[in-house]
Amino acid sequence: MLDLKIIRENPDKVQQLLDRRGVGKYDLQPILDLDQKQREIETNRSQLSARSNEIGKLIGQKIRGGSDPKGEEISALKEEGNELKTKLGELEPQEKELKAQIENLLLELPNLPQESTPIGKNEEENVEIHRWGEEYLPSNPNILPHWEIGEKLGILEFSRAVKVAQARFVNLVGAGAALERALINFMLDRQIAAGYVEVMPPLLINTESLTGTGQLPKFAEESFKCQDDDLWLTPTAEVPVVNLYRNEVIEAAKLPIYHCAYTPCFRREAGSYGKDTRGLIRLHQFSKVELVKLVHPDRSETEHQSLLKNAEAILQALQLPYRVIELCTGDIGFSAAKTYDIEVWIPSANTYREISSCSNTFDFQARRAGIRFKEAGKKGTQFVHALNGSGLAVGRTMAAILENYQQTDGRVKVPEVLQPYLKKEII
């Protein structure tokens, strides 16, 4: 959530930054109008409340001074006091309603892109930062798409998954299931060694949690909701892990907090029909190892770079070619101020495809979720900065392995770092 004080004091600057996400998409004026009205009522209420308190003291003073408690002077003061209480009773709910309206509008506003975020309209204007592993590009000229080789090997079943659920689900069999399990364990082991503390959070999460990280209210159509409960299937472990600290004040000495978490993730993929309808790239259910950091604002950008390196390290260990791009203002996510995407090479498509998105939300999510920290010897509290990134999306990693490690005889070599987990060298 954006800071209302910053909007109030620098509306032109805030509007300029929002316009970088798309001119005309976001309008601050309704918030400014409601804020002015609410502040006018607040001033009026404060003045009336002060006069009401003054009358109460005055009545006591006069009675102690000998005035008749039932006399005209005291009666007039009591009448004025009653009128003030009536007016205050009318103003308080008005002010409460205005504050609720302002908060609802603030919840609809995305984060402000950082000044250093490239300005652009869409993904076509993202900026490539670097590439890695071009020496590992496969030489096999006849690589089958991962879903075809997976079905030929009997490790991926899409048609049977449709029987059980619907399209965009997969059933993993034998070495397919083992490969997924191996990837999860490998990713967790590497991130724990890098300093992250593993958590296994609930997969069913409440509305307040999704609101805290920015999925609600704007993107309700992207998530699966339980019909009879205030519970949703988690779209990414970022949501439950960040919200573990919702409405808490953390001692500054305990920062930074690093967590990694494996969870299944569930997304409707609303609006993506026709895109990646085959294979493991865009499923309704997929596994992911997520990285989450809660850090001191002074360390925010440094921590973002190290988070990116932690995610890159997985692909480097697997010897999978990839590139890193910085998302432009028109392509960054709702809660992000700055984002780097890692895209892995998918030979059958002759292109790089996203496998991790590493974002710094600065204080945006912390403000929504009420996550603060307190420094010893200092008054007041500050909001932490929250960062997240995939380390990595497991299904997409499997897709990249099935294609990049595909042999000319139709078998798939197991990456060397996975062989101790999978107990085999070839699928």
Task: Express each pLDDT in 129-151 by its tens digit.
Answer: 999 999 999 999 999 999 999 99
* Confidence band, pLDDT 50/70/90 cuts, at residue 331: very high
| Spatial CA neighbour of 191 closest among 424, 401, 389, 419 | 389
| Spatial CA neighbour of 405 closest among 190, 173, 133, 128 | 133
How large a percentage of the chain has pLDDT more than 70? 99
Which pLDDT belongs to residue 66? 81
Whether residue 67 sits in one domain with residue 91: yes
Q: Decide: 238 and 282 in contact? Cβ < 8 Å.
A: no
Assess whether pLDDT exceeds 70 at residue 271. no
Instruction: Report d(CA 211, CA 369) in Å as an integer.
Output: 8
Which residue is it, tokens 């998105």? 357
| Spatial CA neighbour of 355 closest among 322, 330, 378 | 322
Whether residue 18 sits in one domain with residue 153: no
* Confidence band, pLDDT 50/70/90 cuts, at residue 182: very high
Assess whether pLDDT exceeds 80 at residue 256. yes
Q: What is the pLDDT of residues 25-35, one digit of tens each?
A: 999 999 999 99
Which pLDDT belongs to residue 333? 97
**CA torsion through residues 299, 302, 305, 309, sign:** negative
The stretch 306-328 carries a mean pLDDT of: 98
Q: Classify residue 115: in a domain, yes or no.
A: no
Whether residue 343 sits in one domain with residue 372: yes
Which pLDDT belongs to residue 270? 67
Q: Is 83 a catalytic residue?
A: no
Burial class (CB in 10 A: 0-12, 13-18, 19+), 164: exposed
- Active-site residue identified among 20, 21, 190, 267: 267
Q: What is the pLDDT of residues 275-303, one digit of tens each?
A: 677 999 999 999 999 999 999 999 999 99
Report if pTM > 0.85.
Answer: yes
Contacts of 124 (CB under 8 A, 6+ apart): none
Instruction: Report d(CA 41, CA 91) in Å as an integer.
Output: 7
Q: Classify residue 220: in a domain, yes or no.
A: yes
Instruction: Report d(CA 295, CA 304) in Å as an integer.
Output: 10
Domain boundary among 77, 108, 139: 108
Whether residue 147 sits in one domain with residue 98: no
Assess whether pLDDT exceeds 70 at residue 227. yes
- Active-site residue identified among 287, 335, 357, 359: 357
Whether residue 151 sits in one domain with residue 177: yes
| Spatial CA neighbour of 17 closest among 327, 299, 367, 330 | 330
Whether residue 152 sits in one domain with residue 24: no
* Confidence band, pLDDT 50/70/90 cuts, at residue 61: confident
Assess whether pLDDT exceeds 90 at residue 272. no
**Containing H/E element for 190?**
helix 175-193
Range of the domain at 362: 123-422
Which pLDDT belongs to residue 255? 98
Domain boundary among 84, 108, 132: 108
Which CATH number characterizes residue 187's domain?
3.30.930.10
- Active-site residue identified among 20, 168, 190, 282: 282
Which pLDDT belongs to residue 274? 62
Instruction: Report d(CA 264, CA 248) in Å as an integer.
Output: 26
Buried b (16+ CB within 10 A) or exposed e, 172-208: beebbebbbebbbbbbbebbeebebeebebeeebeee
Whether residue 230 sits in one domain with residue 269: yes
Q: Is 348 a catalytic residue?
A: no
Assess whether pLDDT exceeds 80 at residue 416. yes
* Confidence band, pLDDT 50/70/90 cuts, at residue 395: very high
Buried b (16+ CB within 10 A) or exposed e, 388-410: bbbbbbbbbbbbbbbbbbbeeee
233: which 2 tokens? 């299937």
Whether residue 272 sits in one domain with residue 175: yes
The stretch 382-393 carries a mean pLDDT of: 98
Among 75-89, 181-195, 334-348, 411-425, which stretch is predicted with the lowest mean pLDDT? 75-89
Q: Decide: 213 and 365 in contact? Cβ < 8 Å.
A: yes
Q: Decide: 263 and 201 in contact? Cβ < 8 Å.
A: yes
Q: What's the number of domains the chain is made of?
A: 2
Q: Is 267 a catalytic residue?
A: yes
- At 105, give phi and psi (nearest 5°): -70, -40
Q: Classify residue 48: in a domain, yes or no.
A: yes
Whether residue 410 sits in one domain with residue 340: yes
Whether residue 129 sits in one domain with residue 98: no
Assess whether pLDDT exceeds 70 at residue 79. yes
Domain boundary among 55, 84, 108: 108
The stretch 217-246 carries a mean pLDDT of: 96
Which pLDDT belongs to residue 329? 98
Q: Classify residue 114: in a domain, yes or no.
A: no
Q: Is 357 a catalytic residue?
A: yes
Output helix, strand, coil percentages for the chain, rounded to the nearest 5: 45, 20, 35
Q: What is the largest CA-CA distance in the chain?
A: 108
Q: Classify residue 113: in a domain, yes or no.
A: no
- Active-site residue identified among 223, 359, 396, 403: 396
Q: Is 246 a catalytic residue?
A: no
Q: Classify residue 80: in a domain, yes or no.
A: yes
